[in-house]
Amino acid sequence: MASPLQHRFHDCPLRLMGMSETNGMASSCRACCIPFGSGKPFYGCCRCGYFIHRPCAILSPSLEGQDPHPKHPLCLSDAPAASTDASCDICGKTVIGFRYRCQSCKFIAHPLCLQLHQTARIPGHQHLLRLSYRPGFKRSTHCDACGLQIHRACYSCSAKTCVFDLHP
């Protein structure tokens, strides 16, 4: 059996458990808000109702030189579930739960968004695509797959003669 984990955002030690041990208390991860899958253990505290996926429990407290924000260090922070005051600078969605934040320029990102591949290839497009974060696009950018406007980060074609953008 795994030893208890002391997490920086929770006072009680968290122990590895499964859904059957929570009496229905655990539904989604406190860090990423993604529901728990059946059969995969997670860390939790039944006394406080605090539950977290294993990968989310071991996120680094800080990141340096991290694409797409390499200029400043990013610090992991937690926000109350009711807090909807911030949106991710990569995907544009509201950040609930854990977030990486830059104290210098207020860049905020979901931990999962920071794990996106920096380059991608897709069928039907011959060039390499690169993930880029561009706050306040200077040109009107629309996704070439769905047609919707892109407001934050996107995969852009690396060829100078080609204009091709996709949502992450």
Residue with tokens 């911030």: 86
Entry pTM: 0.76
Say if residues 118 and 66 touch (Cβ distance below 8 Å). Answer: no
What is residue 19's three-state secondary structure? helix
Task: Tell how strand 153-157 and strand 129-133 pair up.
Answer: antiparallel
Instruction: Please report, for the chain, the start and end positions of each structural domain, with discontinuous segments joined by +.
Output: 15-57, 60-115, 117-168
Quick check: bond before 35 cis, omega within 30? no
Ordered strands of the 74-77 beta sheet = 62-63, 74-77, 99-101, 108-109
Residue 163: the pLDDT is: 87
Cα R_g (the chain), whole angstroms: 19
Asked whether the predicted pLDDT for residue 84 surpasses 80, the reply is no
pLDDT of residue 153: 82
pLDDT for position 14: 94
* pLDDT the model gives residue 82: 53
At 134, is the pLDDT very low, low, confident or very high (cuts 50, 70, 90)?
low
Residue 48: C-alpha distances to residues 24, 43, 125 (Å): 13, 12, 50
CATH architecture of 60-115: 2-Layer Sandwich (3.30)
